[in-house]
Structures are given as structure tokens and as C-alpha cells.
Amino acid sequence: MDRHGPPLPDGPLIVAVNHPNSLVDAMLVFRCSDRITRPLGRAPLFDRFLLGSVLRAMGGIPVHRREDDPEAMHRNEEMFRSAVEVLHGGGAIQIYPEGKSHSETRLAEFRTGTARIALQAEEGADWGLGLSIVPVGITYAAKELARTEVAVRFGKPFGCADLKAAYRADPVAAGRRLTERIERGVRRETLNFGRPRDRILVEVAEQLYVRELRWVPWRAREPLGTRFPRLQRFAQGLEWVRGAHPEEHRRLVEKVARYARLSDELRAGEGDVPPRYSFLPVAKYVLVRGTLLALGLPFAVVGSLLWAPIVRLPGFVVRLVKPELEVTATVKLGTLLAGTFAAWILGPLLGYLVGGWTLAAAAAVVPPLCGFVAMLWMELAREVREDTAVFLRLQGRPDRREQFAKLRSELTETLRQLEKRWMEERQATASKDPDEPDT
């Protein structure tokens, strides 16, 4: 997990977050924040055994949606009152302005509830509250997995006291203005794609581009948070090409898709296909990773055996419950945490009953340590297996490496030319239109 951005400000605070992954989003924001942020969540979630317990433990405030229960909408006055009271007490709340967890490739339409809470809180304090709003973007590599890369980006805080006159003149219009401001802030911290396949194209284009320009070593795996600014820029550029130059967009997509197919055939993964392999780097790779794998193997075997039932438990529960995609990771993570906690309690207890305090202490320390080593060992082993497979498949195939190198060079040059034209057009537009105030 990568956390990026400034620390949260003191005082009354609303954290406005995109919502791709149900309760996991709230847990991530709770974990990444340097202060307690109470989440607002759909009322039905509070009635679920596991999810409800977690939400109540986090100080959650239920939101009654029309699509969940039309007859309970009147209870939202209580929700607004509770949220405003938290803010008037100098507390912090986290809200999901999209109003739903979803799997779309871009932000859903923002609802005005967040803005209404903010404006009501300021009005109730005669506009002297000093409320801060912080936009947050959460991006997952593969959100359906319990363990996946995730980037949590905290944006620049802004307020809404400047809307005092607008709110008193027309509260609805002021709410829409603030909602637009919040959406712009969240959009800056998220990846948004016009079509589902665009993310794959952007990731492949960014991957080959940075390696061709030697910004990133071949076969290196960068954290999602490090790649995020580049991925966001590529996504914006792709949308510009699609709208401004549709024929060039079509040709670019075809080339990137072709490169992705070649990479898939070779099963190259994120590390791409190096143009050559030199003896010394290969020897260093084998020595370092081979040593780490050999030293960690005994601990990895023990950890895998000890934790195998717990690791398999989430998959079993998902097959049994068959949750929607938006809550699959939540169910997996919740099951994994519950199983881990139970094992951590029962292990030392059984150890004490069998062999006293000594065995209890060993049971409390050894399994978690071996499990952690096993997790790291398996990640390293997966990378080594992938790298070795690519290396072996390329042996005796200089034509294949040349094919990758040629296509990569063509795409890189195309991308550089398009970027130049994109920047020229943006500068020309900026010189004609007044700059939008930065929120």
C-alpha cells in the first residue's frame, strides 16, 4: 500500500473519497489517515454480521438510500445531524460522494450530500467553522484480490467559506458548485478511463515508454503509487487523442494492442522484454535472488504449512457466499483477518495447554514470523519464475527481441510526438481561456 500526499489538517474535516471497493476503501482511509475519520456508509451494511461490526468499531454513520429502502429516507435527517455534530466538535468524517461502490473505469456521478453536509456545518457555525475538505483517490491494481497493490492519494485541502453568500441566496446552487469543486479534487487523485480496455492500453504504453527511455530498469517492478502520475498523464493523453485525432488514436491503439499481444504470448508481465541480456547483470541476479530464496526456503515451507488453512479460507467463503464483485475483496479481507486473529489466539492457547508458557510463547511468535517470510518468499519466487521463463524463451530468438525493440521504438516516437502536440494545444488553449482557480 502506497500513501501519497500531505498529512490531514487539524480541525473540522471532510475526507471525500472515490469508491471502487466497498468497505475496504473505508479501512484503507482509516489506516492511512493520521487522525480518526468516521465513515459514512450504506445503512444495510450496518446490519451485516462482519461489515456492520467493523463499521461500528470505526464510528460509522449510516446513510439511508432510496434504492435500499425508500421508506427510511426520512432518517437521513439524523445522518446529516450526526455528521454536522462531528464537524462542530472538531472531528473528521470520510464520505463517498459517488454514493455507491462500483467497478466502472471512471468516477460515477457525484451526489450533493457531501456538499450539503459541509455547507450546513458552516452555516450552523455562522461560517466561522474553518472546515477543510480533502479529496482522496484510491486506485487498486486488482481490487478483487485480498492482497493487491493499492495507491491512496491525499489531495490538497480546501474550504467552502467563500460560498457563504451563494448558499444564503440559493442553497441548491451552492451545493452544486461545491460538489463540482469536490469532484475536480477527487478526479486529480484518481485514474479515469473512457472505456474498460483503456486501462490495459495505458499500462502497456507507459510500461514500454519508460523502459525505452531508460527511466526504469528492465524487468523492474515499480509500485503502483510510483507509476500513478505517469499512468494518469497517459490516460489523459489517450482521451485527448481520441477526441482530437480519432484516426491517429485508432492506429495507436492497434500498435499498443499488438505489443500487448506479443507480450502476453511471451508472458513477459510488467517487466517487459529486455533488448539484450548481459553476463554480469544476469550473474548478479542469479546470485542475489538465488541466495535469498535458498535462505528463506525453510521458513517459507513452515509458514506455508502452518497458514495453509487460513490462506484457503477466504476462497472457500467467497465460493460459498458468492458476493458481488464490489464486496468480494471486503469478504476476502474480512475472512482473512478473522481467521488470522482466531489462529493467533488459539495457537498460543493450545501451546499453553500442551507445553506451558514456553510453548505458548513459541506459538505466538514462530507462526507469524514464518508466515511473513513465506509471503515475501512467494512474491520473490513468482518474480524469479517469471523472469527466468522470459529469459529462457528468448534464448536463440534474437528475431523476437528485435521485433519487440522495433515496435517499442516506433511506439515511443509516436507517443513523444503526440505528447508534444498535446502540450502545444493545451498551451494554446490556456492562453485564450482564463485559468480556473485551483481548489
Domain ranges in the chain are 2-188, 198-272+406-432, 280-394
Mean pLDDT of the chain: 89
Band (183; pLDDT cuts 50, 70, 90)? very high
Highest mean pLDDT among 45-49, 143-147, 340-344: 340-344
What is 2-188's CATH number? 3.40.1130.10
57, containing H or E segment:
helix 49-57
User: pLDDT tens digits, residue range 353-397?
Assistant: 998 999 999 999 999 999 999 999 999 999 999 999 999 988 888
pTM of the predicted structure, to 2 decimals: 0.84
The set of residues, in sequence order, having a beta carbon less than 8 Å from that of 146 and lying 6+ positions away, is 314, 329, 332, 333, 336
Pick from 224, 250, 222, 249: which is nearest to 238 by CA? 249
Task: Report percent pLDDT > 90 for the chain.
Answer: 58
Record the cell numbers describing residue 283, joined without a space: 550473474
pLDDT higher than threshold 80 for residue 406: yes
Identify any residues that bridge with 93 across adjacent strands, giving them in sequence order: 14, 38
Instruction: Please give the residue that has the higher pLDDT: either 61 or 151.
Output: 151
Give the per-residue pLDDT at 65: 67
DSSP β-ladder status, 132-140 and 150-154: antiparallel
Cell matching residue 191: 485514474
Residue the block writes with cell 445522518: 79
What integer pLDDT is reported at residue 17 of this predicted model? 97
Write the pLDDT tens digit of every residue in 187-232.
999 999 988 889 989 999 999 999 999 898 888 889 999 999 999 9
Indicate the SS3 state at residue 214.
coil
Residues 6+ apart with CB under 8 A from 120: 80, 84
Cα–Cα dist 12/130, whole Å: 7
185, β-bridge pairs: none
Which pLDDT value is given to residue 401?
86
Query: For 86-136, how does the pLDDT look when each residue is reduced to its tens digit (9 = 90+)?
Result: 999 999 999 999 988 888 889 999 999 999 999 999 999 999 999 999 999
pLDDT at 439 over 60: no
Phi and psi based region of residue 11 (left: phi greater than 0; alpha: psi -120 to 50; beta: remaining): left
Angle between helices 198-212 and 246-266 (to 10 degrees): 80
Least confident of 240-244, 285-289, 294-298, 320-324: 320-324
- Which of 264, 265, 274 has the alpha carbon at shortest distance from 200? 264
Does residue 438 register a pLDDT over 70? no
**Overall average pLDDT of the 236-244 stretch:** 92
At 19, the pLDDT band (50, 70, 90 cuts) reads: very high
Residues 6+ positions from 157 with CB-CB distance below 8 Å: 6, 8, 9, 13, 132, 133, 134
| pLDDT greater than 90 at residue 334 | no
Phi and psi, residue 307, nearest 5°: -105, 5
